[in-house]
Structure 1
């Protein structure tokens, strides 16, 4: 049986270990962002997958809009996948299962043959009433 002093010393060691692991986890998560590049496009995402930066070389502007959009989306998906792996690996010092990285879903590849939809974007109008929501000066309180 432990004495109170031994118990306290053991508890303090565990707290110090958890603090060290939490600091390491925070550092690893912050570094888990990812960058993917092609010849003309560079995409950088945060650990959350949020787009942080998009750089286009002049050569990117020689591509069609649909080709450029497809390339940007592909690189963004790849960067998000890399960031997700980095976040999963950040959990390992906290006792996370190393196999969690293998359980991260890999996005389905986008078919290069499918052309981008042509035409205007459909208007999302879910207000089917005939009443206006604009107030004239006479209608204000």
Structure 2
């Protein structure tokens, strides 16, 4: 390989390495956020779809548990869609359209998408523990009659 071709290859490699490094940092900072229509549920997710934050306003408590569950899940999905759109906006210009599908496949392989479960009925009472969990007993104190003839202070008060 002649000197000029080698220098050009090294320059391209260094440019590509710098773009990949910048891309990695951009992806690390990337998040998706969404709110439900009345703003009572807010969710923030990572590009992988992992929930990073969930905020409920007092207005969210005006719903039944089933309605609130549905609102939370719908808001998570909206935040995940936003994170995916931001990922595409960030990655496509760097890797190009042709390699974007490969990038997505590799990204999903490292962080598989998991659809959140929908609302479910509570478990039957028969499946719940009969006795509530018990807290450990408080440490015992010596009884007063262990020192019948003298004070534990031995006259020093």
Q: TM-score range by the shorter chain?
A: 0.5 to 0.7
CA distance in 2, matches of 1:50, 1:117: 21
Contact persistence 2:91–2:100 (CA under 8 A): no
CA distance in 1, matches of 2:13, 2:99: 23
Contact persistence 1:44–1:53 (CA under 8 A): yes
| TM-score normalised per structure 1 | 0.64
| TM-score normalised per structure 2 | 0.58
CA distance in 2, matches of 1:97, 1:68: 41
Output one character per residue of 1:9-43: Cα deviation in whole Å (capped at 9) or x when no partner: 11221111111220232133223320101321110
The answer to whether 1:94 aligns with 2:95 is yes
Distance 1:119 1:15, change over 3 A: closer
CA distance in 2, matches of 1:60, 1:30: 31
Q: Give ranges in structure 2 of 5+ residues lacking alignment.
A: 102-118, 128-157
The secondary structure found in structure 2 opposite 1:53 is strand
Q: Give ranges in structure 1 of 5+ residues lacking alignment.
A: 101-115, 124-141
CA distance in 2, matches of 1:77, 1:36: 9
Q: How does 1:42-121 map to 2 (within 5 A)?
A: 42-92=42-92, 93-97=94-98, 117-120=120-123
The secondary structure found in structure 1 opposite 2:97 is coil
Structure 2 equivalent of residue 111 of structure 1: none
Aligned-CA RMSD value: 2.8
